[in-house]
Structure 1
Amino acid sequence: MHLRDLVYQYPQQAAHGVPDWMLGFYKRHSISFADGLTDTRTHVCWFQSRNFSIDLRLPLEQDQVPAKPLAQCSAEELQRLANYEGWEALSAWRDETLSWHGETSLQLHNRWPEPAVLKRMGNCMIEFAPSGAYVEDWRLQVSAPGPLIGLRLLHEKELKSGQVHHRGGGLILCGDYAAMVLGRAQALETEPTGLMLRDLVVRHAGDRQWLDRAFNFETSVATGSLDQGFTVTLSTCAARVGKPLIALDGFELQPDGRHVRQLLQVDGVEFERLFVIDTLEPEPSFAQATGFTADAAQWHAREAPTLSRYTQSLV
């Protein structure tokens, strides 16, 4: 079954989760820190389904490691890879605050431990750190109408041998955009306790098997459509850029109605991906506007000659 048929034939919306205005794909416009400095250049992508998030944070293209086997990466390039950020996590919305738990992450420690105090106006969503350490400005990306699909990955394994290649992760499709996380097949040893991924990469610099396990992880962001497919534009795995994000066929709803199985072939080997459904919504709204109160609308119309003098859509 094609993924399009799955969402239109078996729609189901999560009974609870984040408010509608938080759904979709946001790119970070800026982060400003308490020390007065601001970053507007790092690639930061946030995909939000009803009950889980996908996050990708990468340096500019000229500072990323080009596609090559790990064995050909220098020590400096391995350190750059070890500082990439990509994750998927369950999200919980309460009292205008979003928090995360149960993450599947490239990093071994939580780089962003604070919950997010969120407020959206228009296409601009502002996130405050409760500690006052930073404030982030997120912009909802413009999209044609399209489904919202949120599937959390349980595992990806070879059907014949049963060998697990990835455990944990997820897939979010929202209109013109999609993101996917494929977690490591097995957790990394973190002894001695407290070492970060970059520290462990230094310790295991000559251990090819360990490095393969450590970087057996993917977070990718893509653009496209359910009709034409989605092409990767940003990824923790450089070789994935320009490639299809995911095959869109081979899906089947499981008898319990809560799980989805995908059968696919990779280099002639048959694989199974098993997902649990977060939400399957054929026609959600990814509106750029949040609207005015009646009094505010009158004020805006009255003062439009100056208020709207230089306004433009900013994403």
Structure 2
Amino acid sequence: MHLHQLVEQFAQQPPQGVPNWMLGFYKRRAISFADGLTDVQTHVCWFQSRNFTIDLRLPLEHQQVPAKPLSGYSAQELQVLANYEGWEALCSWEGETLSWHTDTSLQVHNRWPEPGLLKRIGDCMIEFSPSDAYVEDWRLQSSAPGALIGLRLLHEKELGSGRVHHRGGGLIVCGDHAALVLGRAEVLECGPLDLREAVARHADDLQWLSRAFNFETSVACGSLAEGFNVTLSTCAARIGQPLISLEGFEIHPDGQHVCQLLQVDGVVRERLFVIDTLEPQVSYSSATGFTDRAAQWYERESPTLSRYTRPLV
């Protein structure tokens, strides 16, 4: 079954989750820190389903490592790889605060331990850290109304041998955008070391490095009709490739899980997902609306307020 058929025929929405205004794909415009410094260059992507988040953080393209076998990377390039960030995590919304837990992450420690205090106006969502260490400016990315699909990956394994290739992760499709996380097959034991330190220690151990970087977070654009092609990824070789096959999906008899069968190098694998949401049509509007009084003010003062306004992505 095609993914489009799955969401049309088995539509469902969980009874709880984040507010509607938080759904979709955001890119970070800026992060400002308490020391007065601001970063406006790092690629930071936030995909939000009803109850889980996918996050990707990468340096500028010319500072990313090129696509080649792990054995071909220098110690310096391995450190660049080890500094990438990509993760998926369940989230909980309470009042104006979003917190994350039960994550699947490339990093082996939590780099962002604080919850976020969030408010959105127009296409701008502002996130304050409770400690006032930083504030982030997120911008909803343009998309026509379309499906919202949130599937959390339990595992990807070979049907014949039962060999597990990935545990944890997820897929979020929101209109014209999609993101995928594939977790490591097994927990990476690093002891007290962070990933950079552990990679430096095992730089000559190809088997260990293969386990460490058996992880993917990718972001893509496209459509459910034509497919999604990767634009940013923790895996350089994935750039320009299809994010995921849109065929081979089936609803599990319990109605709460989805299976996908796919072939990798001629071997049939099964991906088993638990459903967060399957919604055929969601509006990803950049507007949040005015109160009547604010609308009157905006109209009255529009000759100056709207002099230079434009969408900002």
Same fold (TM over 0.5): yes
Matches of 2:298 and 2:221, distance apart in 1: 35
TM-superposed CA distance for 1:267, in Å, is: 1.4
Aligned counterpart, 1:179: 179
Matches of 2:22 and 2:95, distance apart in 1: 14
Aligned counterpart, 1:197: 195
Name the aligned partner's letter for residue 243 of structure 1.
Answer: Q
Deviations 1:98-132 (A, max 9, x none): 00000000000000000000000000000000000
Name the aligned partner's letter for residue 190 of structure 1.
Answer: C
Aligned counterpart, 2:47: 47
Aligned counterpart, 1:100: 100
TM-superposed CA distance for 1:95, in Å, is: 1.4
Partner SS state of residue 79, structure 1: helix
Matches of 1:200 and 1:304, distance apart in 2: 56
RMSD: 0.4
Matches of 1:300 and 1:102, distance apart in 2: 43
Aligned counterpart, 1:226: 224
1:264 aligned residue (258, 262, 265): 262
Aligned counterpart, 1:158: 158
Name the aligned partner's letter for residue 16 of structure 2.
Answer: H
Does the aligned pair in 1 maintain the 2:144–2:283 contact within 8 Å? no
Aligned counterpart, 2:296: 298
Detail structure 1 runs of 4+ shifted over 4 Å in the superposition: none
Partner SS state of residue 14, structure 1: coil
Task: Report percent identity of matched pairs.
Answer: 75
Partner SS state of residue 283, structure 1: strand
Give yes or no for the alignment of 1:134 onto 2:130.
no
TM-superposed CA distance for 1:284, in Å, is: 1.0
Name the aligned partner's letter for residue 308 of structure 2.
Answer: Y
Give yes or no for the alignment of 1:144 onto 2:144.
yes
Deviations 1:131-166 (A, max 9, x none): 000000000000011100000000000111100000
Output the TM-score relative to the length of structure 2: 1.00
TM-superposed CA distance for 1:285, in Å, is: 1.3
TM-superposed CA distance for 1:190, in Å, is: 2.0
Matches of 2:181 and 2:104, distance apart in 1: 8
Partner SS state of residue 147, structure 1: strand
Deviations 1:28-47 (A, max 9, x none): 00000000000000000000
Matches of 1:145 and 1:271, distance apart in 2: 32
The aligned runs of 1:18-57 (5 Å cut-off) are 18-57=18-57
Name the aligned partner's letter for residue 237 of structure 1.
Answer: C
TM-superposed CA distance for 1:291, in Å, is: 0.3
Aligned counterpart, 1:236: 234
Give yes or no for the alignment of 1:168 onto 2:174.
no
Name the aligned partner's letter for residue 107 of structure 1.
Answer: Q
Aligned counterpart, 2:283: 285
Partner SS state of residue 281, structure 2: coil
The aligned runs of 1:54-69 (5 Å cut-off) are 54-69=54-69
Name the aligned partner's letter for residue 123 of structure 1.
Answer: D
Does the aligned pair in 1 maintain the 2:184–2:212 contact within 8 Å? yes
Matches of 1:244 and 1:179, distance apart in 2: 11
Aligned counterpart, 2:214: 216
Does the aligned pair in 1 maintain the 2:156–2:271 contact within 8 Å? yes
Matches of 1:231 and 1:270, distance apart in 2: 22
Matches of 1:207 and 1:307, distance apart in 2: 60
Name the aligned partner's letter for residue 222 of structure 1.
Answer: A
Matches of 1:172 and 1:241, distance apart in 2: 18
Matches of 1:142 and 1:189, distance apart in 2: 40
TM-superposed CA distance for 1:306, in Å, is: 0.4
Matches of 2:189 and 2:171, distance apart in 1: 26
Name the aligned partner's letter for residue 32 of structure 1.
Answer: S
Deviations 1:176-228 (A, max 9, x none): 0000000000001122xx21000000111110000000000000000000000
Matches of 2:27 and 2:115, distance apart in 1: 18
Does the aligned pair in 1 maintain the 2:28–2:138 contact within 8 Å? yes
Give yes or no for the alignment of 1:90 onto 2:70.
no
Aligned counterpart, 1:73: 73
Name the aligned partner's letter for residue 75 of structure 1.
Answer: A
1:247 aligned residue (245, 248, 267): 245
Output the TM-score relative to the length of structure 1: 0.99
Name the aligned partner's letter for residue 39 of structure 2.
Answer: D
Matches of 2:201 and 2:264, distance apart in 1: 32
Aligned counterpart, 2:10: 10
Name the aligned partner's letter for residue 298 of structure 2.
Answer: H
Structure 1 stretches lacking a partner, 5+ long = none
Name the aligned partner's letter for residue 217 of structure 2.
Answer: T
